[in-house]
Structure 1
Amino acid sequence: MKLKKLFPILLLLISFSFYGQGEGMREKKEQIKAMKVAFLTTELKLTSSEAEKFWPVYNTFDDKQFELRHQKMKSFMRRMNDETLDKMTEKEASAFLNQMESTEEELFVLRKNFIATLKGIIPATKIIKLRKSEENFNRKLLQQYRDKGPRRD
């Protein structure tokens, strides 16, 4: 699987675990969000004028993206256990696949609109750097998770 396709899946799984585990995880989510803000601010080198306009738009986008992934994808994940998949008819599988594609399309449109809005706030070079910086942050977060995870000897 391509690495670029792995990150949205990882974020989706991380978002599920944050949501499902109460206050402690909400604090972790906020810590990660603060780390992400610091990371992106450093990477993008936003002017104060750009930052003032950028962060409200970014935060709205990020929250909508999280909600969409959480609401839709959580129900998908519940239905994707082996037992359920083995009992699924072709018609049910086709409908399920259509729902998944629809959610992916919603995420695409959300990002497309977000980028269109950003074009009026920051230069195109910074929009491209934003995308790369988000991927770098996700990679860094994944690495930290791996480093702190249970050791297998």
Structure 2
Amino acid sequence: MKKLILLALTLTYLTASFAQGGEKMRERIKAQKVAFITDKLDLTPKEATKFWPVYNAFEDRVEAVRTGDLRTIKTKMRQNPDMSNNEADKLLEDLIKAEDEMYQAKVDLMNNLKGVISSKKIIRLKRAEDEFNQKLLERLREMRQKRGPRD
């Protein structure tokens, strides 16, 4: 029952957060993700104290790559579809580096969490992240459908 209430609250807050803009929306989504993951992992207070700094550092690292390197790469891809082979080679090299950094961040997260929570909970974390992201995408689709086509 507790989980159903938490899920209902999460979806309610997600609905409200999509109505908000920019940074405020990201903060609300992050708060809901924290609550969702905490519930799904059933973290003890001791585990949570050690888990969240490690997880937040991972999230910051990934977000820096997304908003920095990957955003720049995707912008260049959109702005210059007829780039030369040399430009494409350089962009591809940059893309591989950015994707590798994100992969390495995930590997480091799992290795760092091994001393904090059990391997079983690390697997549950992956499942919880996927489930949260799926619910977030479903909610976004619903809101876009309600809003209708944009002209």
Alignment-derived partner of residue 118 in structure 2: 123
1:141 to 120, 136, 143: 136
Q: CA deviation at 1:90?
A: 1.2
Alignment-derived partner of residue 84 in structure 1: 80
The alignment's C-alpha RMSD in Å is 1.4
Q: Deviations over 1:100-145 (max 9, x none)?
A: 0111111111111111110000000110110111011111000111
Amino acid at match of 2:99: E
Among all aligned residue pairs of Structure 1 and Structure 2, give the percentage whose two residues are the same amino acid.
Answer: 38
Tell me which of the two structures has the higher relative contact order, counting C-alpha pairs closer than 8 angstroms and 6 or more residues apart: 1
Amino acid at match of 1:120: G
Q: CA separation in 1, counterparts of 2:74 and 2:65?
A: 14
Q: CA separation in 2, counterparts of 1:73 and 1:103?
A: 6
Larger radius of gyration: 2
1:111 to 101, 106, 114: 106
Alignment-derived partner of residue 31 in structure 2: 34
Q: CA separation in 2, counterparts of 1:59 and 1:77?
A: 25
Moved >4 Å (runs of 4+): none
Q: CA deviation at 1:68?
A: 1.3
Query: TM-score of the superposition, structure 2-length normalised?
Result: 0.81
Structure 2 stretches of 5 or more lacking a match?
A: 1-19
1:58 to 55, 65, 69: 55
Q: Deviations over 1:43-102 (max 9, x none)?
A: 111111111100111111111111111100111121122x5112x111211111111011
Q: CA separation in 2, counterparts of 1:95 and 1:78?
A: 14
Amino acid at match of 2:50: K
Q: Deviations over 1:17-38 (max 9, x none)?
A: xxxxxx9411110000000001
Alignment-derived partner of residue 40 in structure 2: 43
Q: CA separation in 2, counterparts of 1:131 and 1:94?
A: 33
Query: TM-score of the superposition, structure 1-length normalised?
Result: 0.80
Q: CA separation in 2, counterparts of 1:50 and 1:101?
A: 34
